[in-house]
Each structure stands twice: as structure tokens, then as C-alpha cells.
Amino acid sequence: MSESSYTIQQIAEQLNIGSFKVKYDTLISTLLIDSRSVISPETSLFFAIQAHRNGHEFISDAYASGIRSFVISDPAYADLYPDANFLLVNDVQQALQQLAAGHRSRFNLDVIAITGSNGKTVVKEWLYQLLAADFNIVRSPKSFNSQLGVPLSVWQISSEHTLGIFEAGISKSDEMTQLAAIIQPATGILTNIREAHAEGFASPKDKLLEKLKLFKDIKLFIYSPDYTTGVAVKDLPGERKFSWSTTVKADLEILFVEPIKGRNYIRARYKDEEIECLIPFSDRASVENGIICWATLLAMGYSPEEADLRLEKLTAVNMRLTLKHGINQCSVIDDSYSADISSLAIALDFLRLQNQHVIRTLILSDLYETGKSDKDLYTEIAGLLKQKQVGRLIGIGEHISAFAGLFELESSFYESTQDFIQNFPAMHFSNETILVKGARRFEFERISKLLTQKIHDTVMEIDLNALANNLKYYKAKLKPGVKVMAMVKAFSYGSGSFEIANLLQYQKVDYLAVAYADEGISLRKAGITMPIMVMSPEPSAFEAIVKHKLEPELYNMDILKSFIDFLPDTQFSYPVHLKIDTGMHRLGFEEPDLPDLLPVLRLEEKIRIVSAFSHLAASEDAQQDEFTAYQLQRYNTMAATIRAELGYDFIRHISNTSAITRHPDAQLDMVRIGIGLYGFDSGIKGNSGLHTVGVLKTTITQIKKVGPLETIGYGRRGSLPGGGTIATVKIGYADGYRRSFGNGVGKMLVDGKAAPTVGSIAMDMCMLDITGIDAKTGDEVIVFNDQLTIGDLAEQIGTIPYEILTNISQRVKRVYFYE
Ligand SMILES: *Cc1c(COP(=O)(O)O)cnc(C)c1O
């Protein structure tokens, strides 16, 4: 057992729970806030955190997965299970923080704390890379920097560690003091202060002062005066201060930054000498993050020569897992960045979330976990694989091979990546989800390349975390108890099928809705088991609908009667949904239809109305609010009539995305979220609070100089009157980049700058005017992202974002990211 084990009694004492009786005697080593990510249930303590949903609701799930110890604040749950420990506190989040702070205090460990608007995670990961040779480092997993993330990070500290690096982020005033008490840092790094996340603070200075509370008791403060304007140096924290700046005098005074071949050469003045370093990245953010790391190394006493040597070897921080289409109907999750146990657990969670294939395979290299014996390490991993339902293991490396006997699943082992690759042609991979996870030195990207299909150079990247965050955003706007139906029709608004549905099922939305039976059937075949409504059920698809337990929307007497006729007489209570037309005039029963409908519903036992719903025609538009109110009122009246006739309750729903925030009184029993999940809501100004989910990228195939008299493209419609440079890119109208974007109407981002189209859009390509932009063949070009949004594109050609998204053709490969 590691030092982070406490008896449940000790925990109760730390939380000042007076009369606690042990019901399940155990040692606690893991703190858990999500009932879905259980690794070792007996030794986990579950915190019923009050977040978007009440954590107490997940106690039964957690109990079912074997957890027997809970921290709760609602006394109603205190005696739920006679064989489980319930620790009753006033505030569950505070209890988590208190335990973590107590744990932290037991270790006399030097800790670096990082805060700021951007760059926290990169600086943390880079410092880890730079210092790992000299220290046994414990650090925040991923970007765990919140009121919950920080305590979970700090809980990992054990006696083997000689340095901690933790990041801290805040979203509102008064949060930092808590984090300071948990982290107890000796060194503080302020990365920068930007307008981003300015919400919640009266002014930028207030934000700075709040962030500085993290550093109240530190010994060393590393910062740039460029970001501390308004605060006198004497009021900055730290017995010792180390400053860096590109504009004013500082301990590390940057003289110039010069890009060379994708890297940046930096010269600076330090202790009256000129020193230099090379940052192996070309973008501006990496230069700043690199300088912060440079300053930190120097402030810690490393020589300029040593610092330069180490900085040059920095590697990209990619915390995201990538899900791609693989060979032979496989799905491949690529995670060859970090290989430690906590990131393995996270990746295995993502693997387990994939239901599209029955077999889940893991290709894993030796792990370099400091401070654990190989035997302990691989025993723990073997337990983890069992817990996460991995079906097959391919171990690569001498260490994991030596412990082959520990793994109780189908497994094979190879000495090296090369050894695996040589044997690859004889191996069999088909219809399975494969997680490729290896330490950097194993170069597993070579394995991923063998397993994945070549990607056509235009891809749509889908950020699954952004989607989950958008869902959270809307859930937070819902009144208690309101259910969520997620609209995944039209290939999830162009974003994917089972990839999106798996996530939504995992996030426990209540319903999915598709347009056609085919879409629902694909989801069932991909292992989606939650309820699915089909909005346009054709009679020819009834058989498939019933076979796959899909729930049809019935919108008029014909379809209602033919569905009832189709059902065998033995059928009882088949779930269906009634569509009511309250003014949209698309599908649905209208008020005059009720006298025909009601007697059928009353007598018919083959079906059961699970929900009756209507659709708003203009919920996003303030000018139509009166009409929206009228639709709601009509719905309520008709729903009440149907309810009275049926004699049982059904789910009532009318809200689409924009109605959720704009018309809270229309939330009823459930809302149907569509475009908002994918990051767009025309009812919210500037989409504020939503995250961009899809990024469409293409590449430059060729670059040409054209003279003033030459023409470009079909019909000779394009020209550059002053002459210039054009780039041909690999996207055309067959990919969904409409012809109407041609002749300068549309723009794409090349090297971050807007480049207008020239001439007509062709089927598979189009041309951009890149005069004055630094670009070369093979460079990436952004069609839309969070800067150039689907809203902007829609405006350019006079349509709506829905159409931009759903137009992206299926031949554009989707790649999924998950953190
Ligand atoms: C598409 C659709 C929605 C979702 O609309 P958004 O504006 O994308 O939220 C809701 N209800 C029905 C019936 C739909 O067809």
C-alpha cells in the first residue's frame, strides 16, 4: 500500500465527524468524484459532489460498481446501504479539499504552482520534461486545475516524490485561497493574464490580485512585469522574485526572438551576460511558454548552458486522445504521448466508452513509473485491465514481457516496436477498438500508422470534450429534474454517429433522436443501448424499428394506424412518441385532429405514449417571442387534453436549443438539444459559454504565381488584377464547400490569416489568394474553427450554420479528440 492510504476511521476524524461507525472496514487510497471512472472500488471514497447534477443521484451506480464508502451532505442518504460507510458533512466539495490539504501537509515537499490565463498545462508538462532527470515528480494529470481537479492532483503525492508541479485555475473571485491551502507551494509561476475568462471579475487587476492569492506564502515568484501592471513590485508575492520580459528590464531580458526553420532562436540578457536558447517550436504561444520555462530553470539555479541543452529537447504536449478509423473496420485510439498509470487509466476509460466493437484491444509499452517496482507496477496494470474490460493485450518491451504471467487475458508480447512491426503482417486485427499507448521512446506512432487508414487531406476534427462541455452548459440551465434528449440526426449534424452517441450515452443523456430508422439501426449496431426516437418512421422500416427497439414518432392518423396494425396482437405497450403541431406546420396532429386521435389512444393497448411533443418555429428570435409563447400555450392545452384522456403521464417537451436559455418556462419535462451541442446557438450572443466542436481543415497541394492578365479556374472567372500568389487546396463542392463560396465570397485561414477564394470552387479543389502570406505546399488550411466560425461561413453565403455543418460530406474523414 502506498502512503496515500487511510483507514475510513482516520478519514472520518480528519473530516471532524464525531459519531462515525465503521460499517465496511477498508483502507482508502482513491478519491472519486465520477461514478463512471472506478478503478479499485473497495479502496475508493466517493464524493457526492453537487454539480450540474446532484452527485447523490449516482450513489446507487457507484454502489453497484462495488464502492462502499461515500461522503454525502444529504442526510436522506445516510442509511441507504447497511454495509456501506456514509460520512455526512455540510459541504462535500469542501470535505474533498480538506482531506487533500491534510494529505499535502504530511509531506515536506517542494511544490511549484502555476497559474495564469493560458499556458498552464504546457508549462507544467514542459517543466516535467525539463526536470524529470533530477526529481521524482508528481504533477496534475491533464489540466486538472479546478476546485475539484486540484485536490485530486495533490492526493497523488506520496513519500517517493521529491517535487510537485500543480496548476491552478479559477473561474470566479474567492476561489484561489482554497487552492493555495491545498497546494501549499514554495515556488509560484504566473504565466500571463489575458482577457480570456474575464467573466466573473470586476477588472483585470482584480483578476490578477485573485490569482496572486495562490502565492501568498511562496519563497520564489517567477513572472513577467508585462502582466503585473497596476501592482507595485513590493506588493508582489515571494521572498525572492525572478522576472522576465520582452519589453522592459528584467532578470531575464529578452533581446530578440528569431524564427529559423520551424524553431525559434532566442537571445536574452541575464546577469549582465548575453545568453541564448533554442525553442523547438514555431508558434508564438510556445515561445512564451518556452521563455517561462527558461526563466524557471535559471531561477532554480541551472546554468544557461544546461538550460539551453534541455529546452532544445522539449516535445509537443498533446494531452488529447485521438480516435480514428482503422484498417479492417477497426477503431484506433492513438495515445503515444505519455505513459504513466494515471494517463493509462484515462485512456482505458475512453476505450471502455467505445461500444462499436465487441473486442477492446490494448497495445502497451513498458511504462516508466518512478518509484514502483516492476512487479507492483505490472500487477496494478493487470488489475486495471481487468477492471476496464480489456479483451486483448499486446505488450511491447522487455519489462512488460517479463511479467507476462500476471495478465489474465488473451495476450502476446514483443521485445521492441521493431519486433512488433516485423510480425505485423501475420497478425490479425479486425472489427475491434485498439488503444495504442506507449512511452515516447517506443515510437508507437509507427504502430498507429500501420493500423489507421490513410486520411484524405481534408479532415474534420471533432472535439468530444467540447461537446461534453456544451452539454454541461445546457444542463446547468435546466430546472431540476428536466430530462435531455440529444439530437443526433443527420450524422449528428455532420459530426459523426456512434462516436458522438457513445459519449452522450456515457454522459447519461436520457434520449437520443434520429431522423430515419437507418440512423437508429447503425447506432444499435454500434452498441448504443439507450432509448432512441425516430422522427420520420416509414412504414417500410417498421419491422426494423421494432427489431432494434427504436421508438417511432407518430405524427398523423395514417402513420399511427399503420404502426398499430403492424404490431402483432401480442404486443403490449410499445413505446411511441406523439408529435403535435402548434404552429410550425410541418409534422404533427393539430387541435382538430384530437377527436379522431383520442378514442384510438384510449382503447389501444399495443402502444404506450412515452412522450408527446411539439416543435418551436422561432425560439431564437426575440421578435417572435409572442408566437413562441402562443405555441407553448397551445401545446400545454393539447397535452392536458391528451393526458386526461390517456389516464397516464408522459414526458412533455417542446424546447430546442435556443429555447433552453431564452424560454425557461418551456423546458417542461425534457428539452431537445441539437445545434447547441455542436457549439452554436443563435439565441446566445457570440455563442458565449459554448465551445467549438468541429474544426474543418484542408491542405495546400500547390502554390503558383499568377500575373495580372492571367485567369484562374473554370470559366476563367478568377483573376488577381495586381498579380500575386495562389494556393490550390484540397476541398471542393463535393466535400461540402459550396460553389457559392467562390470568387472571393469565402475565406480560409492560411498561417492564421484570411485568404479569400479566387475563381470558381471546383468539385474537389479550389484556389485561394495567398498573396503576402507565408505558406508552402503541404501546409494546413483552416476552413472553419473557433476564429472563423460556422456562423461566419453561413453569413458569407446567406445560409444558417446548420446547413454548413450538415453539408460536409461523408468523404471528409472525421477524427475525434478526447482529453
Ligand atoms: C432538429 C430538431 C431539434 C433540435 O433543434 P436545434 O435548433 O438544433 O436545437 C429539436 N426538435 C426537433 C423536432 C428537431 O427536428
Query: Are 430 and 494 part of one and the same domain?
Result: no
635 close to 594: Cβ distance less than 8 angstroms: no
Global pTM exceeds 0.95:
no
615 lines ligand 1 (CB under 6 A): yes
Residue 610 predicted with pLDDT over 80: yes
Ligand 1 binding pocket mutation candidate from 473, 487, 619, 631 (most atoms within 8 A of CB): 487
CA 471 to chain centre: 11
Residue 99 lies in a domain: no
Give me the catalytic one of 489, 579, 697, 747. 489
Ligand 1 binding pocket mutation candidate from 672, 687, 790 (most atoms within 8 A of CB): 672
> What pLDDT digit, counting tens, does each position of 135-164 carry?
999 999 888 999 999 999 999 998 889 999
The predicted model gives 527-543 an average pLDDT of 97
Residue 408 lies in a domain: yes
- Which residues face 114 on adjacent strands? 167, 189
Distance from residue 523's CA to the centre of ligand 1 (Å) = 19
673 lines ligand 1 (CB under 6 A): yes
> What pLDDT digit, counting tens, does each position of 726-769 carry?
999 999 999 999 999 999 999 999 988 999 999 999 999 999 99
In 492-519, which positions are buried (b, 16+ CB within 10 angstroms) versus exposed (e)?
bbbbbbbbbbbbbbbbbbebbbbbebeb
Query: Are 683 and 699 part of one and the same domain?
Result: no
Feature table: binding site for substrate: 586, 763
Number of domains in the chain: 5
Query: Are 274 and 365 part of one and the same domain?
Result: no
674 lines ligand 1 (CB under 6 A): yes
Catalytic site residue 128?
no
Nearest to residue 346, comparing CAs of 388, 382, 400, 393? 388
Grid cell listed for 568: 402483432
Q: Which residue among 424, 453, 482 closes a domain? A: 453
Residue 470 lies in a domain: yes
Residue 102 lies in a domain: no
Query: Are 558 and 422 part of one and the same domain?
Result: no
Distance from residue 491's CA to the centre of ligand 1 (Å) = 14
- Residue nearest ligand 1's atom 8 by CA: 674
Q: How confident is the model at residue 2 (pLDDT cuts 50, 70, 90)?
A: very low
Grid cell listed for 481: 429534474
How would you write 705-753 as a 3-class SS string?
EECCCCCECHHHCECCCCCEEEEEECCCHHHCCCHHHCCCCCEEEECCE
488 lines ligand 1 (CB under 6 A): no
> What pLDDT digit, counting tens, does each position of 329-362 carry?
999 999 876 777 778 888 998 898 899 999 999 9
- Residue nearest ligand 1's atom 13 by CA: 615
655 lines ligand 1 (CB under 6 A): no
Q: What value does the mean pLDDT of the chain take?
A: 93
Residue 273, number of CB atoms within 10 A of its CB:
8
Distance from residue 487's CA to the centre of ligand 1 (Å) = 7
38 lines ligand 1 (CB under 6 A): no
Q: How much is the pLDDT for 335?
A: 87
Q: Which atom of ligand 1 is nearest to the CA of 676?
A: 9
The predicted model gives 497-501 an average pLDDT of 95
656 lines ligand 1 (CB under 6 A): yes
Q: How much is the pLDDT for 491?
A: 95
Say which range, 128-132, 171-175, 304-308, 412-416, has the weakest mean pLDDT.
171-175
CATH code of the domain containing 52: 3.40.1390.10
Q: How much is the pLDDT for 199?
A: 55
CATH code of the domain containing 609: 3.20.20.10
Euclidean distance between the first and the last CA atom of the chain, given in angstroms as a whole number: 29
Catalytic site residue 489?
yes
Q: How much is the pLDDT for 108?
A: 95
Q: Which atom of ligand 1 is nearest to the CA of 620?
A: 7
CA dist 188 → 112, 242, 292, 356 (Å): 6, 10, 12, 45
Q: Which atom of ligand 1 is nearest to the CA of 485?
A: 10
Q: Which atom of ligand 1 is nearest to the CA of 657?
A: 9
Residue 543 lies in a domain: yes
Query: Are 300 and 328 part of one and the same domain?
Result: no
Query: Are 441 and 474 part of one and the same domain?
Result: no
Residue 100 lies in a domain: no
Dihedral sign from CA coordinates of 508, 512, 517, 522: negative
751 close to 704: Cβ distance less than 8 angstroms: no
CA dist 293 → 17, 114, 244, 280, 296 (Å): 43, 11, 11, 13, 5
CATH code of the domain containing 227: 3.40.1190.10
The predicted model gives 554-578 an average pLDDT of 97
Distance from residue 538's CA to the centre of ligand 1 (Å) = 19
Q: 3-class SS at 374?
A: helix
Q: How much is the pLDDT for 38?
A: 75
Query: Are 229 and 146 part of one and the same domain?
Result: yes
Q: Which residue among 453, 482, 514 closes a domain? A: 453
Say which range, 27-31, 337-341, 602-606, has the weakest mean pLDDT.
337-341
Residue 123 lies in a domain: yes
In 42-60, which positions are buried (b, 16+ CB within 10 angstroms) versus exposed (e)?
ebbbbbbbeeeeebbebbe
Selected residue with higher pLDDT from 602 and 200: 602
Query: Are 774 and 719 part of one and the same domain?
Result: yes
- Which residues face 69 on adjacent strands? 85
Q: How much is the pLDDT for 370?
A: 61
Q: How confident is the model at residue 538 (pLDDT cuts 50, 70, 90)?
A: very high
105 close to 184: Cβ distance less than 8 angstroms: yes
Distance from residue 461's CA to the centre of ligand 1 (Å) = 23
> What pLDDT digit, counting tens, does each position of 250-280 carry?
999 999 999 887 789 999 999 999 999 999 9
The predicted model gives 194-222 an average pLDDT of 84
Distance from residue 471's CA to the centre of ligand 1 (Å) = 15
Query: Are 448 and 472 part of one and the same domain?
Result: no
Q: Which residue among 416, 434, 453 closes a domain? A: 453
Q: What is the DSSP string of 401-415?
A: HHTGGG--SEEEEES
Q: What is the CB-side half-sphere exposure of residue 763 using CA atoms within 13 A?
A: 1
Q: How much is the pLDDT for 52?
A: 66
Query: Are 703 and 796 part of one and the same domain?
Result: yes
- Residue nearest ligand 1's atom 1 by CA: 674
Q: How much is the pLDDT for 371?
A: 64
Q: How confident is the model at residue 445 (pLDDT cuts 50, 70, 90)?
A: confident
Q: Which atom of ligand 1 is nearest to the CA of 493?
A: 8
CA–CA distance, 528 with 445 (Å, rounded to integer): 30
Q: How much is the pLDDT for 205?
A: 85
CA–CA distance, 55 with 48 (Å, rounded to integer): 4
Grid cell listed for 791: 456562423
Residue 198 predicted with pLDDT over 60: no
> What pLDDT digit, counting tens, does each position of 460-486 carry?
999 999 999 999 999 999 999 999 999
Q: 3-class SS at 395?
A: strand
Distance from residue 493's CA to the centre of ligand 1 (Å) = 10
216 close to 237: Cβ distance less than 8 angstroms: yes
> What pLDDT digit, counting tens, does each position of 291-334 carry?
999 999 999 999 999 999 999 999 888 778 889 989 999 999 99
Say which range, 448-462, 549-563, 598-612, has the weakest mean pLDDT.
448-462
CA dist 461 → 170, 325, 326, 695, 803 (Å): 28, 13, 16, 5, 18
CATH code of the domain containing 699: 2.40.37.10
How much of the chain exceeds pLDDT 90, in percent? 81
Q: How much is the pLDDT for 403?
A: 96
Residue 152 lies in a domain: yes
485 lines ligand 1 (CB under 6 A): no
> What pLDDT digit, counting tens, does each position of 31-84 carry?
999 887 777 888 999 999 987 678 999 999 999 989 999 999 999 999 899 999
Residue 600 predicted with pLDDT over 60: yes
Grid cell listed for 813: 474523414
Domain range for 41 is 6-93
Query: Are 596 and 700 part of one and the same domain?
Result: no
Residue 1 predicted with pLDDT over 50: no
Feature table: binding site: 586, 763
How much of the chain exceeds pLDDT 70, in percent? 98
Residue 642 predicted with pLDDT over 60: yes
Residue 99 predicted with pLDDT over 60: yes
Query: Are 427 and 392 part of one and the same domain?
Result: yes
Distance from residue 567's CA to the centre of ligand 1 (Å) = 28
Give me the catalytic one of 77, 714, 730, 813. 714
411 lines ligand 1 (CB under 6 A): no
